[in-house]
Amino acid sequence: MQIKIARLSDPKPSEITPESTYWNRRQWLSGLGYTGAMLALTGSAASAQAQSPSPWEQLLQQKLASTAPDPDPIDETLTPYEDVIRYNNFYEFGTGKGDPVANSKRFKVEPWSVRIDGAVQKPFTLQLEDLIKPHALQERIYRFRCVEAWSMVVPWVGFPLAELISRCEPTASAKYLRFETLVDPQRFPAQGFGRSTIPWPYVEGLRMDEAQHPLSLMVVGVYGKVLPAQNGAPLRLMVPWKYGFKSIKSIVRISFLEQQPPTTWERLASQEYGFYANVNPEVDHPRWSQKRERRLPNSLFDPNWIPTRKFNGYENEVAHLYAGMNLRKLY
Ligand code: MTE
């Protein structure tokens, strides 16, 4: 993972959607009952698709229009939409922060399916529509902290991973979940011959109790809109108390396992990236101090450093999951 402090692709202040504009727009749209129609015009993943929306897009737009507000929103300034969708890590599109937005313009979500297998009553495959049909969407405003020591506050839209887990009917031997990203060089150019930087597929994992925690979210939208390709369309994970690399994007397979699965960054550099990857200001990464973070938006002259909080500020909610564990060793 690389880091660049100032980027040519940095949005100008005038391009940034202020938080107040977002909230006013939401209130206005929902007041008029137009949210679905407007989102159909503005959803960036959708706009890359064919003219007439597919059944999946229609269903997603409908669901987004009735997203429930975050029941317990954190009182922190949202990172502007333009930063959330332009400052990304998604190696399938390239290693630069601006590569995902630049190289995903022609990304097509469909066809897409998610395979559920391993320690479940019966393996099965979910097509996109079936994936979200039974779930009511919720907004969750989460702090999001990358191991590279930058952070954001993002209004994600999704549904609890616990709901999907119960649909999968895991057996008693299921102790871990393993997630896998699509491998398709047609859609992910940096997976093409001679261009790969890391082994594919990108793989992540969670312990079962972490996955069932109410904060663990399957994300399909952001800022009330369809999740853009560069942020992991059509489906990504969000685990807000862990470093961002755990939040795997563009998922096509979820396996229930008895053993802890090897994960991408842990396999590449286990002395730097652990399986747990809980945000922890007391344990530094060899290249990045984890004591503080640059809260986006920032600039070279105003880096906006803030102290990092244990479990990214979710200590009350999740510390019990790690009682008795040595978090210096199990980082
Ligand atoms: N998922 C896949 N498949 N490929 C990736 O390169 N990068 C991870 C994570 N999920 C990554 C991924 C890292 S390092 C981070 S910090 C977050 O995605 C970034 O999410 P964002 O671009 O939406 O901010």
The number of the ligand 1 atom at minimal distance from the alpha carbon of 147 is 16
Q: Is the Cβ atom of 249 under 6 angstroms away from ligand 1?
A: yes
Element (DSSP H or E) covering residue 62: helix 55-65
Reading the chain (331 residues) residue by residue, the pLDDT tens digits are 543 333 333 333 333 444 544 554 444 334 333 333 334 334 445 454 457 899 999 999 999 999 999 999 999 999 999 999 999 999 999 999 999 999 999 999 999 999 999 999 999 999 999 999 999 999 999 999 999 999 999 999 999 999 999 999 999 999 999 999 999 999 999 999 888 899 999 999 999 999 999 999 999 999 999 999 999 999 999 999 999 999 999 999 999 999 999 999 999 999 999 999 999 999 998 888 999 999 999 999 999 999 999 999 999 999 999 999 999 999 9
On whether the CB atoms of residues 249 and 241 are closer than 8 A, the answer is no
On whether the CB atoms of residues 167 and 173 are closer than 8 A, the answer is no
On whether the CB atoms of residues 176 and 257 are closer than 8 A, the answer is yes
Q: Is the Cβ atom of 314 under 6 angstroms away from ligand 1?
A: no
Determine the CATH number of domain 80-322.
3.90.420.10
On whether the CB atoms of residues 49 and 19 are closer than 8 A, the answer is no
Q: Is the Cβ atom of 92 under 6 angstroms away from ligand 1?
A: yes
Both structure tokens of 279: 């945000």
On whether the CB atoms of residues 125 and 115 are closer than 8 A, the answer is yes
pLDDT at 196: 86
Q: Is the Cβ atom of 191 under 6 angstroms away from ligand 1?
A: no
pTM score, two decimals? 0.87
CA 155 – CA 23 distance, rounded (Å): 11
